[in-house]
Amino acid sequence: MTWRVVARRIAVALATLVAIVVFNFFLFRALGDPAKDLIRGRLPPEVRQAIIHDRGYDQSTFTQFTRYIGDLAHGDLGTSNISERPVTDELGDAIPNTLLLLSLSTVLSMVIGTRLGIIAAWRRGRARDTWIGQSSLALYSMPDFWLGMLFVGVFAGGLAWLPGGLKATPGGAGGFAHWEDVGKHLILPTLTLTLGEIGQYVFITRAAVAEVMDSDHVLTARAVGLRPLAVRRRHIVPSARLPIVTQIALNLGFVIGGAITVEALFSWPGVGFATLNAIADKDFPMLQGLYLTTSVLVIVANLVADLLYARLDPRVRTQ
Amino acid sequence: MSVAANEAAEAAERILASHTGAWGGARSALAALLRTRRGQVGMVLLAVFVALALFGPLLAPQDPNAASSFSTSGAQNLEAPSSVHWLGTDESGRDVLSELLYAARISLAVGLAAAIISTLLGTLIGIVSGYRGGWTDRLLMALDDWVLVIPFIPTAIIMASLLGRRAQDWPLGRESVLVLVIGALGWAGTSRIVRSQVLTLKERDYVRRARVLGCSDRTIMARHILPGVLPLVLANGVLYVSLSVLAETTLSFLGLGDPQSFSWGQMLNDAYAAGAMTDGRWAYFVPPGLCVTLLAMGFSLIGYSLEEIVNPTRRERA
């Protein structure tokens, strides 16, 4: 992979990032009015006015914009209206929790989903293909959070085996017992998100593999007399990897959407849960910071997928 | 399976080859659809939900919006299923089955309306972008890339919560906000597909001839390009209905819908707030989610089948 390719991908990601930053500023001002909408409670008029002045909401849009960019350049995202802590500190608490849940479930669903997709394509039109296809469609059509509600109903409500919310038991022990507790709290959200995302990986993989199976080089490999499993491992799966990676990258935005609802359902203290709290609390600086974080997560994930693509595709690699 | 697939393929050829008018095409597409297993299941599911949306309020034991449906004493709140209330009652003493039946209309209407908006937008942008080319194309596709990369649900959450405060006196209240937001964020995939189809269509002889004869660009786009992309647009639009239904459910569950109206997502929001899962009130939170799942599945099945019929490259080679 030449450095020029890498540099170009990074440049595109940076341009998108700049656009996101600008969009983040104007979205909130085009659809709402921070001075009116996003300060909570019945404050005395002079206190409200003081907050508005302190935040600069009484300045011209241009002045506010330059201030926003200036603060951002210093890594300052403002202060939460509710906790009165810097937004960056709040994000520092929330991001690792989201990444933990998201990476665990994404890895699990990707591994299982692509595996099932390969099997379905391999057994195209047979019982196993139909069975995998139907259950994937059913999982794909379920709202993620509803699947989670079913799990909570069974495992937290009925059987009372697992906790149905939060990251740890409040006031629980420290040390190793704490991590064991967190692990237990992690099971249901991870299971929900994994099953919720699995369907798309099955569809993507099955379509990509089925397409490659019809191509000439696979026909040749078969005609030459290679064993079916060798054909699959050496000639089908490597060729199918490219479209799979691209499609998965395109879907990452949706995965984050699923994570938000699952976090909301389980009160898992991540970015999505914080977003909903910020909306309920009319916490404007938090909301802006959280949205920026989510967008950056998606851009970074897309960049990684892009670079991976460049690494996998010999046409790009040697370009 | 392979016989059905072949027949579907033949029907597709007829649709693509014949310029016998939209009705002939639609009829043979429907016939081809009903010949596949997936199409049949999808159409049955769709028919059931359309019937529910039309007649649900007539079948419902009570009108959940009426004051008489509420339990004033609180004695009938969160009742278990019984012969009077088949699915029990909610936290205000209202009949859950009635809410479920009333919700079919809202969930289906919001899903359809949002999908129609995004499909119209996507078709328009795709045709203009592909046909005009040049800077128009580059600008529109940059916008397209942009909409594809911003995370859908987080953006929708923020737009809906900001707009929701202003929507009290809009027609349909906050549900129309959801329609607008889902519609406005969902066109990018459609325009991509339409554009690539337009790029091949505009080099066809009949389009070139129309240009030589002096047809205006607008006439060419409306009369000669649009009919060529319509089958693809339709298949894609049907697929997008299922995504819109799911998006509406998600946003309502997160509390961004209209608390005064009934959609399945709103019911799930209420059930969650009432602690239905930990209390084992299965009859309260299972049916709404099941309805959403089956409705989304129905539209997906029809959409995938239509896509195979109208788009030969997607068709399985049996």
| Residues with pLDDT less than 70, chain B | 1-25, 67-79, 84-85, 93, 167-173, 311-318
pLDDT at A29 over 90: no
Q: Given this model, what pLDDT does residue B257 score?
A: 81
Q: B149–A16: do the CB atoms touch at under 8 Å?
A: yes
* A280 vs B contacts (CB less than 8 Å): 255
SS3 A79: strand
CB-defined contacts A:B, below 8 A: 140
Confidence of residue A315 (pLDDT cuts 50, 70, 90): low
- Kindly identify which residue of chain A lies nearest to residue B151, measuring between CA atoms: A253
Under 8 Å CB-to-CB from B59, ≥6 apart: which residues? B101
Facing residue for A276 by CB, picked from B249, B254, B297? B254
Q: CA A144, CA A82: separation in Å to the nearest integer? A: 29
**Alpha-carbon distance A165 to nearest alpha carbon in chain B (angstroms):** 11
Structure tokens at A308: 């991976």
Structure tokens at B83: 């012969």
Under 8 Å CB-to-CB from A37, ≥6 apart: which residues? A282, A284, B162, B165
**Alpha-carbon distance B41 to nearest alpha carbon in chain A (angstroms):** 12
Q: Who wins on pLDDT, A182 or B13?
A: A182
**Alpha-carbon distance B229 to nearest alpha carbon in chain A (angstroms):** 23
Q: Given this model, what pLDDT does residue B46 score?
A: 92
Q: A261–B255: do the CB atoms touch at under 8 Å?
A: no
Q: Who wins on pLDDT, A137 or A4?
A: A137
pTM confidence score: 0.86
The end-to-end CA distance of chain B, in Å, is: 9
Q: Given this model, what pLDDT does residue B248 score?
A: 92
Closest among B77, B62, B70 to B279, alpha carbons compared = B77
Distances (CA, A) of B318 to A179, A219, B1, B14, B42: 52, 15, 9, 19, 22
Cβ neighbours around A45 below 10 Å, total: 8
With residues binned 3-state (H G I as helix, E B as strand, rest as coil), the percentages for chain B, rounded to 5, are: 75, 0, 25
**E-strand stretches of chain B:** none
Q: Given this model, what pLDDT does residue B242 score?
A: 92
pLDDT tens track for B178-219: 899 999 998 988 998 899 889 888 888 888 888 888 888 888
How much of chain A, in percent, has pLDDT values that exceed 90?
A: 10
Triad A217, A219, A220: Cα angle to 5°: 65
Q: Given this model, what pLDDT does residue A116 score?
A: 92
Structure tokens at B188: 């990018």
Q: Please give the ipTM for the structure prediction.
A: 0.85
Q: CA A293, CA A98: separation in Å to the nearest integer? A: 11
* B2 vs A contacts (CB less than 8 Å): 125
Cα B156 to chain center, whole Å? 16
Q: Given this model, what pLDDT does residue B292 score?
A: 94
Q: Given this model, what pLDDT does residue B23 score?
A: 62
pLDDT tens track for A146-173: 999 998 888 877 776 777 777 777 766 6
Q: Given this model, what pLDDT does residue A309 score?
A: 76
Q: A157–B157: do the CB atoms touch at under 8 Å?
A: no
Query: Which of B147, B244, B254 to mutate: most A Cβ within 10 Å?
Result: B254
